[in-house]
Chains A and B, each alone.
Chain A
Amino acid sequence: MTVPMTITEKILAAHSACDSVRPGQIVNAVIDLIVAHEVTTPPAVNMLAKMGISRVFDPSRVVVTPDHFVPNKDIQTAELTRQLRRWVEEQGIENYYELGDHGICHALIPERGHILPGQTAICGDSHTTTLGAFGAFATGVGSTDLAATLATGELWFKVPETMRFNVSGALPPGVYSKDLILYIISRIGVDGARYRAMEYHGSCIETLSMEARMTICNMAVEAGAKTGIIEADQTAVEYVRARSDKDFTVYVSDEDAEYAAALDIDASSLEPVVALPHLPSNGRFIGEVEPVSIDQAYIGSCTNARIEDLREAARILKGRRIARGVRAIVVPATSAIWRQALKEGLFEIFSEAGCVVSTATCGACLGGHMGVLGRRERCISTTNRNFVGRMGHPEAEVYLASPATVAASAVAGCITDPRVFLNADPMTVEAAPFQDDIHVGVS
């Protein structure tokens, strides 16, 4: 008799030569894809050197791009990327994406066809859960785990319990997958899925693009999850087939698989959500959020800087101007998205609205560069975390929202419902007047 399993359990069983696995069991799994960037990889490379391991187990399974602090922001980061580049050369790693071809790794990997349904993937980065959108088991690890995997091609895992999220109905206009995941995290808390897999199902999920699904899986880690995962359906298979000719296996959860918990959500009842400082779980429907003034609007990161996100922001920014006193920064997630946005004329819209556009980088999302916040500055951002000090000064405030909400807020100068603009002709809606409250222009 076969044991009913979830997708996550099936993938882990298949990769550890087990017929079946149960939550809590420790398995040693073959890792199909190892993603590496310049922050957490150099320490792993040093560890390997210290252990006398001179060769990566299988260079063809490794994909590398610098993303956090590119273009190099200072001498230290220049040295980190230099070490990364030298190691790529030494190891003969072919899948290396240099500046100009680079991107935030979690956005770059699917775009270049490196993740396939049914695979296992790790990266020294917590937002690796993004790749679960393709029906893969993908999770973030530290540098030691990265080193061990580079050395052996395998890594141990405790099989996680799975939580099931049944999302029915259609997202209303002006409400996006970012709002959905912020809503879910507000319901279960930043540790609501700790050690667990978050598995998303339902008619709403099935209608979402791969871009939108990636946003939902990306933020699984903000609920403490080990992985976020969605069954690879026709949409996912077509996306992958367009980018890879490799074989893969699609796993689906058994009807009678066991779940640790289940949550039913009616997407049609949702509104835009904003997560208030300083936790991603502080989500509120926009109607309950004070229209506080902002200093910066940031559209970027592995969470929400794919082409659809930029298009949604451009829909609102077209023919409008960023409010006085607001800096608006647009950071496409990859070089390919950057080129696509250029071709579609989105940069002209952003530029005419008063935004600046940067090359792909994790940048200010983690307070790295290209938009770091000063003392008591307030930013509305399409990123994933709003912890104390995340985007810069510990007294700065970060509000998390969808690209549409961020664009609308940039135009209004304060946190604003995007539906106000989406439902209106640009010529008939006036931006709110500039309000000089204590959070604007404080030195």
Chain B
Amino acid sequence: MGRLIRGRAHVFKRANINTDEIIPARYLTAHDEAELALHAMEDISRDFVSRVRPGDLIIAGGDFGCGSSREHAVWALRGAGIAAIVADTFARIFFRNALNNGFLAIECAGLAEITSDGDDIELDLDAGAVRNHTTGASRLFTPLTPFALELLEAGGLLPYVAQRRGVGSPNA
């Protein structure tokens, strides 16, 4: 099964893009994705939301999503139309929240350095490869573990748990 994801890049080269930047706490009074999406990244990139088209990708530096545990950060980005994030590394709670939502988060060191805004990026989940069709460059990444892929395919932790009936257990 060829799991391919292709979209336009929005590049955040800086490390430590934190959850206060992804969705400021002043908007945590909502948890509707569409509402949160209006304010995604607004403190670092005012026009980010207006530039995103459904299916676009974020390509970022290290420790993406550090800071608070707010799952609102994942919801805001997905609500804005982002299909996946590729970062050098992810902060652990953000990564977990992403998988738990069936939202693709791939760790691939150095991609942000060789990617520009608007580049045409393709992720091959099975091969563990990412191609920049605009520049011709490519990078390899450690493929997701089978458990992570199962979570993604189920659409997140809760649907996964529901499917398995043995609620809460990855081994159930």
Contacts and interface: CB of A to CB of B under 8 A. Distances in A.
Interface of A: 26, 28, 39-40, 42-43, 46-47, 50-51, 53, 68-69, 74, 76-77, 80, 124-126, 128, 140-145, 147-149, 151-156, 190-191, 194-195, 224, 226, 279, 366-368, 372, 385, 387-390, 392, 394
Nearest to B91: A224
B99 to A, nearest CB: 9
B162 A51 contact: yes
Contact of A366 (B25, B92, B97, B162): B25
Interface string B150-172: 00000011100110000111111
Contact of B29 (A69, A125, A390, A392): A69
Nearest to A69: B29
A237 to B, nearest CB: 29
Most chain B CB within a 10 A radius of its CB, from A142, A368, A389: A142
Contacts of B162: 51
Contacts of A372: 26
Given A144-B100, A191-B16, A226 B92 contact: yes
Contacts of A143: 31, 71
Contacts of B30: 76
A124 B28 CA distance: 13
Interface in B113-162: 147, 156-158, 161-162
B55 interface: no
Contact of B67 (A367, A385, A394): A385
A195 B44 CA distance: 26
A169 to B, nearest CB: 30
Given A28-B172, A51-B161, A142-B74, 9 more contacts: A26-B170, A43-B31, A47-B158, A50-B158, A151-B161, A366-B20, A366-B68, A367-B26, A390-B20
A379 to B, nearest CB: 15
A441 B12 CA distance: 34
Contacts of A279: 16
Given A124-B69, A141-B69, A151 B29 contact: no
Given A148-B168, A366-B25, A194 B91 contact: yes
22 contacts: A43-B31, A68-B28, A69-B29, A126-B69, A126-B93, A142-B74, A142-B97, A153-B168, A154-B168, A155-B168, A190-B16, A191-B62, A224-B63, A226-B92, A368-B26, A385-B67, A388-B20, A388-B44, A389-B20, A392-B26, A394-B24, A394-B44
Contact of B18 (A128, A153, A387): A387
Nearest to B20: A387
Nearest to A31: B168
Contacts of B157: 144-145, 148
A430 to B, nearest CB: 38
Interface in B85-112: 89, 91-93, 96-97, 100-101
Contacts of A156: 168-170
B151 to A, nearest CB: 10
Interface of B: 15-16, 18, 20-21, 24-26, 28-31, 43-44, 62-63, 66-71, 74, 89, 91-93, 96-97, 100-101, 147, 156-158, 161-162, 167-172
Given A144-B71, A145-B157, A194-B63, A28 B91 contact: no
A388 B21 CA distance: 7
Contacts of B29: 69, 74, 76-77, 80
A124 B19 CA distance: 14
| 8 cross-chain pairs, A with B, having the tightest CB-CB distances, nearest first | A152-B168, A142-B71, A76-B29, A142-B97, A144-B100, A191-B63, A366-B25, A140-B69
A209 to B, nearest CB: 27
B33 to A, nearest CB: 11
B25 A142 contact: no
Contacts of B18: 385, 387
Contacts of A368: 25-26
A145 B67 contact: no
Contact of A190 (B63, B167, B168): B63
B119 to A, nearest CB: 26
A74 B68 CA distance: 22
Given A152-B161, A388-B21, A191 B66 contact: yes
A372 B157 CA distance: 35
B100 A145 contact: yes
Contacts of B44: 388, 394
Given A367-B26, A368-B26, A142 B93 contact: yes
A389 B68 contact: no
B145 to A, nearest CB: 8
B135 to A, nearest CB: 28
Contacts of B100: 142, 144-145, 148
A388 B43 contact: yes
Contact of B71 (A40, A154, A390): A40
B62 A125 contact: no
Nearest to B101: A144
Contacts of A51: 158, 161-162
B96 A145 contact: yes
Contacts of A394: 24, 43-44
A93 B53 CA distance: 44
Contacts of A149: 168
Contact of A389 (B24, B147, B167, B169): B24
